Structure 1
């Protein structure tokens, strides 16, 4: 009897110990699994899947973020970029030959505020800047003639000038002679080679656009101009004067438009340009140059296409808003 009791007690002890070992093993396994899972999660946070390259190498998430930021900035910069002409180097295009000063030298006075953009084969209107205290003259060859016409465009208080050139037959490789005069021992001559045609260079504008000039452009509203327009209305900033030039004639006609205090302007085009007997007025496919000049001499330019006559038999011109 005693032996039987002893055997039962030993069996009980063995069963208890076995159960404890099994429980401890399960707890250890569970703890190990949790540690491994935490390590994997931490590894996923450290190395995002989308930063792995095709060859299995790890890329920096920071580098990718910087690249994305740079791409966005580049795209925004491209959106802001506007086609601008290149500039002639004064030393390369100077045509003055003065033995006392040396051939090709440029007077320092001529370089003050000087900006001569490229002229292109398809340029209709050319503009740039010089010293406001100086003047500029262009030698324009007359069509089908060896004669030359001297044209002196008006220079604003900021030194801006603009000149219609469509009456001149421009060919790439030809040269346009320009003189800058005033406050120098002699006039300064520049020989500007004509560049091959380039899209967007029908109107060559100064590359030194200012915030004021951009403000004028943003505030200016020019409705469409039809061949049968007789009264024209538009809007610009208050205090800005408006002048319109004919572009497609060798000697351009100009007229000033009346500008109201709020910036609304209008003009009578029923006889512009002046028409002698048998002459035609403005025609479809021709152009008009609008010059907007503020009181400080900042100049903004607009080149407008003349459209086919309006189908409205009662059309007189755009209605002012």
Structure 2
């Protein structure tokens, strides 16, 4: 029990110290932060993020966050930069260099070349009087009083603070650019958000020979055969000129069984839902799903500008596409 208590107290102490480090950052969000944002917003290049060791891991994450939120960015390892990777950086780029001490040798070694090439630099350090901070056009102060490590050695609070400062920078830039959810989706086309915001009805609908449809006046039994063959649980009914007349679904069939009619003799016209809800091919699949949920329907007909059926889909299609 004593060991368990010690472990819990250690974890709580670590989190408390890191929370204090983050709260201390608030005082450092000042004119320098504004200058860093304005410098990046005015740049026509990329943000190249540098960092060694644990700062390098944080730098990779910051670069990824910037890139996915509207600020083109990538990570360069400082040691590799000294052996050819400086060629990846252009004069139009901005360097964001991370070093808690501000004296990381691999980054300091690059300073003369950075200056010679005229590349602007933002430093993110825990020491505003350091070599790196003084060499930069702007220094983002991420100083922390203590590491969460009881030896005050392992980068813990300092890396948390640097990560938070990087997130603050990325989000401030995102808002300044007017970056939208749709913009975010274009950076994440393989994710759930990308599918919801980019996938259109035309990408999930069944067309051509897969589209279930019958003409007005078709016997109900033949319409049921069309539904069975196409497997969407519904069929469109069309006018002689090709316009949509109605829709008949599995749900309509169940309701039809309660009607005082002979389904072997009935025409589809007698039991169809006249016209019904429709969508257009260019509509977002997520919008179509909202219509289906609001009206408690399991399938939709897709029509063109002349109200001619051009496709159909059901909830199963949206589920397979990852929209729901």
> Which structure has the larger Rg?
1
Report the structure, 1 or 2, having the larger helix content: 2
**TM-score (ref. length: structure 2):** 0.19
Higher strand share: 1
TM-score, normalised on structure 1?
A: 0.19
